[in-house]
Amino acid sequence: MSDTQGRGAVLSALASLASLAAALTCCLPLGTLLFAAGSAGASLFAEKLRPWLLAFSAAALVLAFVQTYFRGRCAFRYRRVRTVLLWFSAVVVVGMLAVPQVFSALLAGRLPSFHAASDLRDFDERDLAYEFDAAIAQTRMVVLLSPT
Amino acid sequence: MREKGAANVRVFVVWEPVLDTDWGRPSPALTGYVPDRRAIHFWDHDRKLSARYGGAARLDALAGERKVAFRMQDVLWDTALVYPPGARWGSPARLLVAPVVKYRGELAEAL
């Protein structure tokens, strides 16, 4: 949501469009997998577009795998780079879908947390209200956050 | 929170599913992102607190001072509300900011 993130979203979207253009030419697998990665990156920032971009990322990735391993349309000399990029994109896209909190932390420049600092209670307004009023002598801050 | 290590403050972190990647109940390790001992963590699967606050449509009524830099659709999220000493549950906050990271300076001042 910050300016930096906003620029990131725009750049990521442009990268996606560029790789779409590439996908329409000879270097289809590379374009497809860049598109997959670009869509997934953009989805971190665009709340509304996120479900569509993630779905598109997954679809583009499947297409890239099919083209790399079953059709082999591009020149052989690009294959090694393409394969590395393909698997890199697969790790990124699958990781974002499977362990989004870890990827969110990494992309925010933090190490992912694997150790609980305290209990994670099920929300109950009475519980919150009790704790809130019990600390009436203090400044209190209520923060609503998405885990990813 | 790190900057205000000595501040007399209590923090209630309410995690709620908003994005499509927020599937399932998160691991308690989530609390490790706000490891401060003054923080209490809740998992609000049904976004009850957002509904209790009236959702994004009622931001104006929630705090005397509001700084909101993104458009929320219906759910209140990525938001922090600061209540002064003496305020009871249900009374308006002194300050509301969203998104949290953008206004961390204001939050630090308010604490």
Distance from CA of A44 to the nearest CA of B (A): 10
Distance from CA of A94 to the nearest CA of B (A): 12
pLDDT > 90 fraction of chain B, expressed in percent and rounded: 45
Per-residue pLDDT band for A6 (boundaries 50, 70, 90) equals very low
Probe site for chain B from A47, A96, A141 (most B CB atoms < 10 A): A141
pLDDT digit string, tens, across residues B59-100: 888 999 999 988 888 889 999 999 999 999 999 999 999 988
What average pLDDT is seen over chain B? 87
Report pLDDT for A37: 55
Contact state of B29 with A119 under an 8 Å Cβ cutoff: no
Structure tokens at B23: 């599937």
A140 contact residues in B (CB cutoff 8 A): 9-12, 82-83, 87
Cβ atoms within 10 A of the Cβ of B5, count? Answer: 8
**Confidence (pTM):** 0.66
CA distance A41 to A18: 14
pLDDT digit string, tens, across residues A47-75: 566 677 777 777 877 887 777 777 666 55
Can you tell me the ipTM of this complex?
A: 0.92
Span A22-45, mean pLDDT?
48
Nearest residue of chain B to residue A138 (CA atoms): B85
- Highest mean pLDDT, choosing among A33-47, A68-82, B31-45: B31-45
pLDDT digit string, tens, across residues A85-116: 778 877 877 777 777 777 766 766 666 667 77
> Above 80 in pLDDT, residue A132?
yes
Distance from CA of B71 to the nearest CA of A (A): 10
Span A6-13, mean pLDDT?
47
Closest to B74 measured CA to CA, from B53, B57, B94? B57
Probe site for chain A from B3, B9, B16, B19 (most A CB atoms < 10 A): B19
Instruction: Report which secondary-structure segment, H or E, holds B41.
Output: strand B39-43
Per-residue pLDDT band for A136 (boundaries 50, 70, 90) equals very high
Distance from CA of A71 to the nearest CA of B (A): 32
Identify the residue whose tokens are 């700084």.
B67
pLDDT top residue among B1 and A87: A87
Coil, helix or strand at residue B43: strand
Report pLDDT for B87: 95
Contact state of A137 with B85 under an 8 Å Cβ cutoff: yes
- The runs of H, that is alpha helices, within B1-111 are 48-53, 59-62, 104-110
Sequence-distant (6+) residues with CB within 8 A of A45 are A1, A5, A6, A8, A9, A12
Judged by average pLDDT, the poorest of A1-5, A44-48, A97-101, B46-50 is A1-5
Probe site for chain B from A92, A123, A132 (most B CB atoms < 10 A): A123
